[in-house]
Copies of this chain bind each other. A is one copy, B any other.
Amino acid sequence: MAVYTDITETELQAFMDDYDLGNVLSYRGIAEGVENSNFMLHMEAGEYILTLYEKRVDAGDLPFFLGLKDHLAERGVTCPVPVHRRDGKLTGMLAGRPAAVITFLEGMWLRRPKPANCRAVGEAIAKLHLAGADFPLTRTNAMGLASWRPLWDSCDPKESVFEAPVIDEVGRELTHLERNWPEGLPSGVIHADLFPDNVFFLGGKLSGLIDFYFACNDRFAYDIAVCLNAWCFEKDNAFNLTKGAALLAGYQSVRPLSRDELTALPTLARGSALRFMLTRLYDWLNTPEGSLVVKKDPFEYLNRMRFHRAITSVSEYGVDLQ
């Protein structure tokens, strides 16, 4: 739920005068996206998304995020692309924030994805990994392993959410992951946040990927681990083996995984589950009353972390070691 910053029609029209899109016809705040303020924007030239980057996004990262979309779109990965201003730039300032105008992508995100959709997501993310290979900019994963312990330490008071044994468990998990995090795996540009609400489908086919604001350079297999967590668990927190197998088969139909990558999956998935548990816990503790953000349950990802910890063979994800 995301309109943190409201804008007046006069400041919007002044901002849009730097584009070649004609006059503003209407704009409505969109109740999607958690990090930024998003508006559906009707210009004389057509429909666009206007994004105001709030403080959670580092303005220094915008050339990476926006340039990546351009790069991927040129290589056949369907995603919204930033519109260039008359001066050639991709961003300007609006209401004191960096802002960009992005093309509008038709399609719907799936509230209840099916195995065939998971296969399509696997294929899409593998294509993204290949298409990103020659992207010249790099970005460290700001939500990677190194960030987890400081984030956990800053979750205060964690005792208001978790019992003491759970707090001990998370501490041990952090130590385990710090000591056993897989190194030397194939790496490159990853999406890092490919949840169902960031993948659009139209007529049963994947029509595009959105929201690249966590994209970074990291292990390709970590992106798959994120998707296993985001796409392959049911509402009752049970892992759906059919969906896991479909996602991994879709991925491997485009980019086969090495034995090392497959073996690393349970550890990467534990880390990914911990990462989302931590940000949810932090938001739970720090979202002010009356905020527009829906608080998400950190226990959901605690349970997924436990599931991955109990994995003894990657076949439990629905894939066999070659």
Contact = CB atoms under 8 A, between A and B. Distances in A.
B292 A25 contact: no
Copies of this chain in its oligomeric complex: 2
A195 to B, nearest CB: 14
Contacts of A309: none
Contact of A30 (B7, B29, B291): B29
Interface stretch (A102-110, A154-162, A174-182, A247-255): A102-110
A19 interface: no
A83 B24 CA distance: 25
B9 A111 contact: yes
Interface stretch (A132-140, A197-205, A224-232, A268-276): A197-205
B111 A1 contact: no
A8 interface: yes
A289 interface: yes
B30 A30 contact: yes
Contact of A26 (B29, B31, B108): B108
A23 to B, nearest CB: 7
Contacts of A203: 23
Contacts of A32: 28-29
B25 A107 contact: yes
Nearest to A10: B112
A56 to B, nearest CB: 18
19 contacts: A3-B31, A8-B110, A9-B108, A9-B110, A12-B108, A24-B108, A25-B106, A26-B107, A26-B200, A26-B202, A28-B40, A29-B31, A30-B40, A31-B292, A42-B106, A289-B289, A289-B290, A290-B295, A292-B292
Nearest 9 A/B pairs, CB to CB: A29-B31, A8-B111, A25-B106, A31-B31, A9-B108, A3-B31, A26-B106, A289-B289, A28-B30
